[in-house]
A and B are shown apart, each in its own frame.
Chain A
Amino acid sequence: MSALLQFLIAGLKNGAIYALIALGFTIVFAATGAINFAQGEFFMLGGMLGWWFLHLGLPLPLAVVASVATTAGIAALLELLAVRPIGDGDPLRIIMVTIGASVVLRQLAEHVFGPDELSLPPFAAGASIKVAGAAIEIQTLWIWGITLVAVVGLAILYRYTSLGKAMRATAIQREAAQLVGVDTRRMVTIAFALAGALGAIAGLAVAPLTQTAFDVGTGIGVKGFSAAILGGLGNPVAAVGGGLILGLLESLTAGYISPLYKDAVALVVLLGVLFVRPQGLFGGSRKEKV
C-alpha cells in the first residue's frame, strides 16, 4: 500500500512539472497555431539561470525571480526576432524556426554555463513528511504549490483581466480581435513570455531534486508536449490533466514494470494519442484548421 502511495506521489510530482511545460505549449499554440519546439529550453534556462544568479551572490528567492524574468525576456525576444518576422505566420515555418532556436539556446547554454550538471538548493529546509508510510519531500510540496498557483493565476488572468481577455480573443479569432482594437502582435509576444516564465518556474522547481544541465530541454519538451497532446492541445485545463496522467503512468510503469521503460512511456503515449486520437482525451472532435 505504501509503495503504491509512494509511486502516486512521485507521479504527481513529475506530472505537475509536465503540466507546467504543457501549459507553455498550450499558450503559444493558442496564440500562433504552431508548436514552439523551444519550450523545453525555457525549462533548461530556468534551472541554469537560477544557478547562475545564485552564484552571482543573489539570495535564492531573488535568484528564482531573476531567472524567471530573464527566461521570459529571452522567450519574448525569440518571438520578436524569429517568429514575428514570419509575416504569413505559416505554422510549418514557425516550427522550423523554433527547432533552430532550441538548438541555438541549448548550445549557448553549454558555451556559457559549461557542460556539467548543476543543482540548486531546496527552496525550504526540512525533512520529508511521512504520510501513511510514504515520504513526501518538502520540495515536492513546493512543486505542487507552484503548479497550483500557476494554474489558478492563469485562470484568473484569462477570465478576469482585460489582458487575458485580449489574449483569448487573439487565440480564438485573430482578425476579429484586431477589429475590436486588440494589438494581436503584442499578445503573441506576451504568450511567448508567459510560456517562458512557466517553463523557467518548472525548471527551477525541479533543479533541487534532479540536477539540471544544458541538454535537459529536449527530454522535458517531449514529455510536456506528450502531456499537452494527451489532454488535448490548446486547452489549459486539459494540459494540466494530461500532465498529471502522464506523470502517474510513468511512475507506475517504473514502479511495477521496470524503470528501464520510464522514458519510453511518454513517447509511446505521444505516438499512440497522435495516431488514434489527435484531439486528445478531453478534446472534442473539432477538425484541425486547414
Chain B
Amino acid sequence: MGRWLRIGVPVVAALGVAAAPLLITDTFLLKVFTYVGINVLVVVGLALLFGYAGQISLGHAAFLGLGAYTCAFMTVQLHAPWLLAFACAGIVAALGGLLLALPSLNLSGHYLAMATLAFGELATLAFREGSAVTGGVNGLTGIPFPSIGPFELRSAAAIYWLVWGVAGLAVLIAANLTAMRPGRAMRALHGSELGAAASGVDVVGVKVRVFVLSAAMAGLAGALYASAVGFISPSLYTLQASVGFLAMAVVGGTGSLAGPIVAAALLTLVGYLDALIPGLPRATSELIQTYEPDMYGLAIILVVLFAPGGIGSMWRRWRGAGEAR
C-alpha cells in the first residue's frame, strides 16, 4: 500500500499535469496553471532550503528577479538565443545565492532571516535604480517568447509544457537529493548543526550547495515568468513576494516535497479563483484578491501555531494511520 502510494500518486499526478493542455481549452486558465508551475519550481527549491535544511530565506524574490532581468536583458538588448539567456538566468541567480550564502555561513535563525531580507531589499533597490539595465520602475517590456533553436513557443500550451517540464525536472532532482545522502545531511542540519558536524556532515558544503541550488531554481522560474508574460518590473520582486513563497513553503511543511508542491498550487490558485469558477461574482473575486496578502500572513501564523509540520506532516500522519490499521 505504502509503496503503491509512493510511486503511484506521483505518476498519476505527473500524467494529469502533462495532459492538462489537451483538456483545457481556456487560454487564461492554462496561463494560471502555468503560473502554478512557475511557483512550484520556486517552492521546490525553497522546500530544500527551508523544509529540509532548516535555513530561512526572506529574500527569495530577489533570485527570481535576478533570473528574470538576466533573461530579459540578454534576449531584448543582446538578442541572445533564448536557451542561452535561460541558462544564464539560472547561473546568475546561483551566483547571487553563493554571494549571499558564503558570508552567511555563521548566521542562523533571525540573523539569517534579516540578512536574506536585507539582500532582497538591496536587490529591489538595484532593480529600481539600475535603469540602464533594468528599465527602472517601469521595468522591461517586449521580452520575447521562449524559443528552442528556431522553434518559438508562442502558444499557451507550449509554454505550459515548457514550464512544467522544467518544474518536473526540478522535482525529480529534489526528490533524488532528499532520498539519498544529501537529504540525510540536510535533515541532520535542520536538527542540530553541531550534531550534524559531529557525525561527519560537511555542514558548510551542504549549506552552500542547498542555497545555490535553491537560488538557481528561483532564477530559472524568474526567467520562465519573464518569457511567458513578456513584462517584468521591480514591484514583482518585493519582500511581499518573498513572504508569499515562504508562506507556501511553511504551509507545505518541513521534510516534504509533496506538501510544498500542493501548498504552492493551492495558494497560487486562490488568487485566480475567478478563472477556476466561471460563475464567481466579480465582487467576490475582487474581495479575494484584496485579502490575498492577509491570507498569506494568516496562513503562516496558523500553520506555525497549530500545525508546525504543515501539509507534509498531516499527510504522513494520515498515511501512517492508514498503514497501522
A interface list, Cβ under 8 A from B:
34-35, 37, 82, 85-86, 91-93, 95-97, 99-104, 106-108, 111, 218, 222, 225-226, 229, 260, 263-264, 267-268, 270-271, 274-275, 278, 290
Contacts and interface: CB of A to CB of B under 8 A. Distances in A.
B122 A268 contact: yes
A92 B56 contact: yes
Nearest to B298: A104
Contact of A82 (B125, B290, B294, B301): B301
B115 A82 contact: no
Interface in B266-325: 290-291, 293-294, 296-301, 304-305, 308
B113 A35 contact: yes
Contact of B243 (A34, A103, A275): A103
25 contacts: A34-B110, A35-B114, A91-B109, A92-B109, A93-B308, A95-B56, A96-B250, A96-B304, A97-B300, A100-B247, A100-B297, A100-B299, A103-B240, A103-B243, A103-B300, A104-B298, A106-B293, A107-B294, A222-B118, A225-B114, A263-B125, A267-B122, A268-B122, A274-B103, A290-B194
A82 B194 contact: no
Contacts of A107: 291, 293-294, 297
B19 interface: no
A229 B122 CA distance: 17
A264 B119 CA distance: 10
B305 A85 contact: yes
Nearest to A225: B114
Contacts of B304: 86, 93, 96-97, 100
B197 to A, nearest CB: 12
B109 A264 contact: no
A229 B250 CA distance: 27
A261 to B, nearest CB: 9
B147 interface: no
B111 A103 contact: no
Contact of B301 (A104, A106, A225, A226): A104
A85 B301 CA distance: 11
Given A35-B114, A267-B125, A103 B305 contact: no
Interface string B101-141: 00110110111011101110110010001000000000000
B250 A95 contact: no
Contacts of A86: 304-305
Contacts of B143: none
B89 interface: no
Interface string B253-270: 000000000000000000
B324 to A, nearest CB: 27
B246 interface: yes
A96 B308 CA distance: 11
A93 B294 CA distance: 19
Given A104-B297, A267-B118, A278 B110 contact: no
Contacts of A264: 122, 125
Contacts of B293: 103, 106-107
Nearest to B103: A275
Given A100-B304, A263-B125, A271 B109 contact: no
B296 to A, nearest CB: 6
| Nearest 7 interchain pairs by C-beta | A103-B297, A100-B300, A35-B110, A100-B301, A275-B103, A104-B297, A107-B294
B223 to A, nearest CB: 25
A91 B113 CA distance: 11
A260 B128 CA distance: 11
Given A85-B305, A267-B125, A274-B115, A99 B300 contact: yes
Contacts of B240: 103
A106 to B, nearest CB: 8
A99 B113 CA distance: 10
Given A86-B305, A99-B246, A222 B300 contact: no
A100 B304 CA distance: 10
Nearest to B115: A274
B58 interface: yes
Interface in B212-244: 239-240, 243
B121 A267 contact: yes
A97 B308 CA distance: 11
Nearest to A226: B118
Contact of A271 (B110, B113, B119): B119
B259 to A, nearest CB: 16
A103 B110 contact: no
